[in-house]
A = this chain, B = another copy of it.
Amino acid sequence: MAETAAGICRRCPSRDCGLCRAASSSDPTLLQGMRLGRRTVPTGADLFRQGDACGEAFNIVDGWAFLYELLEDGRRQILQFALPGDLIGFQPGERAFPFGAQALGSVEVCVVPMARLMAAARHHGELALGLACMLSNEGALAYGRLTSVGRKTAQERCASLLLELFTRLRRRAPEAPGETLRIPLTQTHIADALGLTPVHINRTLSLLRQKGVIDYGQGVFHILDPDRLLAIAGTSPAARARARGQSEWLGLH
């Protein structure tokens, strides 16, 4: 309670991207009234679960989260990884979440009540369009993953995922060193994202390491041979265009 909302926002790392950028570019005073407050979610805890009423969205300030769907017998599909700056849980037109969201490591989020966000968007077309851009980008990521899981081999899928994460992270942190990537995922997470088993992910990553394309250990990945990784990923020209497109979801208008 010692600090005002405005003060916290001013120092927020997400201030200039995603939702906050959209809101403030639309109307600088918008941001103030929208946020409910910060929340810290511990490792492995759910931000929300499938079936929960969707009353609030979460802007990820620090840490990673993932969206997932569970089948009744326990099979899990990870639908998306949410990185700092991403907004999750914004499902206009839905009453209940069709998927859950879980924290990877400790995650700090900014809570935004859906009602306020929708009200603000209704009166500010620019903000609503920003949200639309964001949803469109999420959709593009989902489509990319779908192509991966539906039509690529294990090696291609692993390479594609690494490149996707690499691209998304570098965008937000251009200052960071070249080809090193700190990823808080277990091989089980990767497996559930790519529609494979942990065992097979292990064999596949080992193979890529053995080939000298990547190296990894303790949650840190090194891309030793970016060109070969790209080639293995089978990244189509179109997918590369998509990767570029993500770079600035509010850049063009």
Chain A interface residues (CB < 8 Å from chain B)? 50-51, 67, 69-73, 75-77, 79-80, 90-99, 118, 121-129, 131-133, 135-140, 142-147, 149-152, 192, 194-195, 234, 236-239, 241-242, 245, 248-253
Contact = CB atoms under 8 A, between A and B. Distances in A.
A75 to B, nearest CB: 4
Nearest to A251: B93
Given A121-B125, A142-B143, A149 B195 contact: yes
A123 B121 contact: no
B133 A194 contact: no
A95 B76 CA distance: 34
Contacts of A77: 146-147, 150-151
B143 A98 contact: yes
Contacts of A90: 136
Contact of A99 (B125, B152, B238, B249): B238
The quantity of this chain's copies bound in the complex is 2
Given A51-B238, A98-B239, A135-B136, 4 more contacts: A92-B129, A125-B125, A142-B146, A150-B194
B135 A128 contact: no
Contacts of A132: 92, 121, 128, 131-132, 135
A144 B253 CA distance: 31
A9 B72 CA distance: 45
B253 A143 contact: no
A73 to B, nearest CB: 8
Residue among A73, A140, A192, A234 facing the most chain B CB atoms (10 A cut-off): A140
Contact of A118 (B76, B137, B253): B253
Contacts of A152: 71, 75
A168 to B, nearest CB: 15
